[in-house]
Amino acid sequence: MENVLDKYKTVAIADVKIWFKAGTIKDFPSNRGGCIKYKDKQIAVFNFERRNEWYACQNACPHKMEMVLSRGMTGSADNVPKIACPMHKKTFSLVDGSNLNGEDYSIATYPVKIVEDEVMIGFVD
């Protein structure tokens, strides 16, 4: 059976082939997440205004495969921006997707850039 998470792979900024226009800055709430669809992927996008940074990651939480990370709580752990899943509060780094609870599942992250007021997310295909 295909694993629903197989289609989510972290994209390094150097590997970006497509910058997808996810919306404008106003479309995303401050210090919280929004969800967009790119092809068959749900991507959570975070306007981390407290840090003046943007992040994007898979919307699917790898703990129970729930499409919920965009509704999670943003925060910082040792100055690493993180997202806490709203279901069972597992936390993940928004920089590299690592699991900050020490469990072996992680999330895919995607580069974000702001061009004028457009929010662009980087994909490989």
Per CB under 6 A, contacts with ligand FES among 9-68 are 61, 63-64, 66
Task: Determine which residue in the list 43, 56, 83, 85 makes contact with ligand FES, applying CB under 6 A.
Answer: 85
- Say how far apart CA 88 and CA 64 lie, in whole Å: 9
Give the residue, chosen from 88, 96, 117, 124, that forms a contact with ligand FES under the rule CB under 6 A. Answer: 88
Phi, psi of 69 (to 5 degrees): -60, -30
Q: Binding to ligand FES by residue 4, rule CB under 6 A?
A: no
Q: State the SS3 of the chain.
A: CCCCCCCCCCCCHHHCCEEEEEEEHHHCCECCEEEEEECCEEEEEEEEHHHCEEEEEECEECCCCEECHHHCEEEEECCEEEEECCCCCCEEECCCCCECCCCCCCCCEECEEEECCEEEEEECC
- Which one, 16 or 87, has the nearer CB to ligand FES? 87
Counting contacts by CB under 6 A, is residue 90 touching ligand FES? yes
CB nearer to ligand FES: pick between 32 and 63: 63
CB under 6 A: which stretch of 4-12, 13-21, 40-48, 85-93 binds ligand FES? Answer: 85-93
**Residues lying near ligand FES in the complex (CB under 6 A):** 61, 63-64, 66, 85, 87-88, 90
